[in-house]
């Protein structure tokens, strides 16, 4: 009976050792899986960080473009308003002083070209052309 008990004890001990071995093997497999998943998570986290940074940079650039567009449109609107005001003023002056309007146009042309435009003679004859 003691031999039978010893054999039973040894067999039970072997079963427990086998279960421990199998559990250790599964734990090593889990550790390898965990290492792989952790590496993928780190890689994805790095990629996520880069995507977020790129998105933030693009949002800042877009905001800067929008600011430039708004400023440009505002300046363009002011130019149009000034041009309309100038045109109205010139039209008012042309109605009052037709000749003075021609002089203003000639002065503007002279300023733009850098050449002075000769005025017609008092009798209305055109100025002599230079050779």
Q: What is the DSSP secondary structure assignment for residue 123, as one 8-state letter?
A: T
Q: What is the mean pLDDT of residues 3-19?
A: 93
pLDDT, residue 131, reads 44
Q: What is the DSSP secondary structure assignment for residue 122, as one 8-state letter?
A: T
Determine contact, residues 127/119, Cβ cutoff 8 Å.
Answer: yes
Read off the pLDDT band of 58 (50, 70, 90): very high
pLDDT, residue 32, reads 97
Is pTM beyond 0.85? Reply is no
Q: Tell whether the model's pLDDT for residue 18 goes beyond 50.
A: yes
69-73, 95-99, 120-124 — which one is most confidently predicted on average?
A: 69-73
Domain of residue 81 covers: 2-94
Residue 104 resides in a domain: no
Residue 129 resides in a domain: no
pLDDT, residue 119, reads 56
Counting Cα atoms < 13 Å in the Cβ hemisphere of 62 gives: 6
Residue 38 resides in a domain: yes
Read off the pLDDT band of 55 (50, 70, 90): very high
What's the structural domain count of the chain? 1
Residue 71 resides in a domain: yes
Read off the pLDDT band of 92 (50, 70, 90): confident
pLDDT, residue 5, reads 85
Residue 59 resides in a domain: yes
Residue 31 resides in a domain: yes
Q: What is the DSSP secondary structure assignment for residue 131, as one 8-state letter?
A: -
Tokens at 18, concatenated? 């086998």
Residue 76 resides in a domain: yes
């Amino acid at each position: 009976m003691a031999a039978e008990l010893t054999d039973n004890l040894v067999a039970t001990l072997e079963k427990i050792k086998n279960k421990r071995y199998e559990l250790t093997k599964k734990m090593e497999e889990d550790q390898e899986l965990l290492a792989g998943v952790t590496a993928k998570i780190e890689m994805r986290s790095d990629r996520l960080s880069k995507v977020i940074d790129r998105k933030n940079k693009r949002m800042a650039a877009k905001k800067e473009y929008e600011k430039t567009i708004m400023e440009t449109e505002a300046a363009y609107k002011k130019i149009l308003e000034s041009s309309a005001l100038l045109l109205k003023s010139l039209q008012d002056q042309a109605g009052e002083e037709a000749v003075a309007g021609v002089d203003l146009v000639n002065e503007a042309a002279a300023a733009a070209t850098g050449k002075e435009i000769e005025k017609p003679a008092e009798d209305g004859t055109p100025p002599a052309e230079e050779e």
